């Protein structure tokens, strides 16, 4: 299982790569400000009418597509007082 910081970083990269910074922020605002049941939405919309094999094939295709993209957002590692500045 991925730790929270890594998961948040990956999620923000996905959002900003796909939507851009402004729309990613707007998306987060909408999630926080409006009642939204992701589980219900997913059941009704995301994979509606697809077989498990079709979902798997689509996921494989998506993974291949995103692995070709370079990240457009670079997150710098925070320096601690013990790291030397180079």
Residue-averaged pLDDT of the chain: 80
CB 7 within 8 Å of CB 75: no
pLDDT (tens digit per residue) in 11-44: 999 999 999 999 999 999 988 888 888 888 877 8
Q: Please state, for a pLDDT cut of 70, what percent of the chain lies above it.
A: 79
CB 42 within 8 Å of CB 50: no
- Which among 61, 57, 75 has a CA at the least distance from the CA of 14? 75
What are the residue ranges spanned by the domains of the chain?
1-34, 37-69
Whether the per-residue pLDDT at 83 is higher than 90: the answer is: no
């Amino acid at each position: 299982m991925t730790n929270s910081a890594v998961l948040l970083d990956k999620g923000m990269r996905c959002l900003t790569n796909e939507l851009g910074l402004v729309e990613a922020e707007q998306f987060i605002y909408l999630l926080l400000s409006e009642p939204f049941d992701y589980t219900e939405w997913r059941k009704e919309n995301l994979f509606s009418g697809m077989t498990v094999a079709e979902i798997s094939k689509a996921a494989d295709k998506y993974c291949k597509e995103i692995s070709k993209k370079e990240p457009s957002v670079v997150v710098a590692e925070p320096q601690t007082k013990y790291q030397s500045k180079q």
